[in-house]
Amino acid sequence: MAEAIIAHQITEMIAELGSLRKSDAAQKTEIENLRAQNDFHANEAQMLRDLRLLYEAKLEQKDSKILGLHVLLDKVKVEAGIYRDDLSELRKQLKDLQAKHESTQKQICATEAKLSRRNFQVAKLVSALGRKVAANRISLVALRAAYKIIPSLEHQVQYEKVLSMAKKLPHKTGIEREMKECLREAGFSISFDKKGFIVLSQSVDVAKVPVDGSKELDESIIIVDKDADKIDDKVSEQDAQQSVKKDEDVQMSV
């Protein structure tokens, strides 16, 4: 009986040992699987760590690049502000230059108009002087012809006296008047100071006059007539004085 119990216990123990062996084998297999999983997960974790480090390095590069771009952006903003200031200054200078250009163009137009007016005045002055020269030439030729055709010696002597006294007459007022009229025709208004120097007062409208010298000749004849009246008065006075002197000489000789 005891042997049967022992045999039964031994059988149970053997069965339990087989079960334990199976359980041990299963646990070993599970441990191997867990170790394999652990190695896999360790490798995966290491790969993830490496990948994280790679990403962190790339992020650092990106951050460094972004920081450089921010610095560059700040530099560009500063330069843009400087360029805006320069552009504003250049625009201001451009406006000033445009205003100066417009003012210069107006001055050029005014100068050209003034120059054109001056050229026209000079042309009129040359024409007026030409008429004066023509009138004076006609008067001179007429006087010379009159001297040549005078028949008697007494008249020639009187003519020479007339010329001599005409040279001695004060012609300043008449000359100034003729110069004023001549220059007024050319568009100039002049006056004379106390020393006799010409003073250009202002420009006047250019007068339209004939160009043949007839007006100047008529004016010269009028002036010559006036001066001739003065000369005749002086000649008559001198002749009377000479006659009185001759009578006195005759009476004294008698």
Q: Give the mean model confidence (pLDDT) for residues 77-103.
A: 95
Residues 6+ apart with CB under 8 A from 227: 166, 169
Q: Give the mean model confidence (pLDDT) for residues 208-217.
A: 47
For residue 165, with 0-12 CB atoms within 10 Å meaning exposed, 13-18 middle and 19 or more buried, which class applies?
middle
Residue 235 domain-assigned (yes or no) = yes
Rounded CA separation 227/110 (Å): 46
Residue 106 domain-assigned (yes or no) = no
Residue 227 domain-assigned (yes or no) = yes
Residue 246 domain-assigned (yes or no) = yes
Range of the structural domain that residue 151 is part of = 128-253
Rounded CA separation 29/33 (Å): 6
Give the residue from 145, 171, 165 showing the smallest Cα distance to 228.
Answer: 165
Rg of the chain, C-alpha, whole Å:
66
Give the residue from 122, 126, 146 showing the smallest Cα distance to 134.
Answer: 126
The pLDDT of residue 69 is 94
Q: Which of 75-89, 131-145, 186-200 is predicted most confidently?
A: 75-89
Residue 34 domain-assigned (yes or no) = no
Q: Mean pLDDT for the chain?
A: 76
Give the residue from 174, 173, 150, 172 showing the smallest Cα distance to 162.
Answer: 150
Length of the chain: 254
Task: Specify the number of domains making up the chain.
Answer: 1
Rounded CA separation 58/54 (Å): 6
Residue 112 domain-assigned (yes or no) = no
Residue 65 domain-assigned (yes or no) = no
Residue 249 domain-assigned (yes or no) = yes
Q: Give the mean model confidence (pLDDT) for residues 173-201.
A: 74
Q: Give the mean model confidence (pLDDT) for residues 78-94.
A: 95
The pLDDT of residue 202 is 57
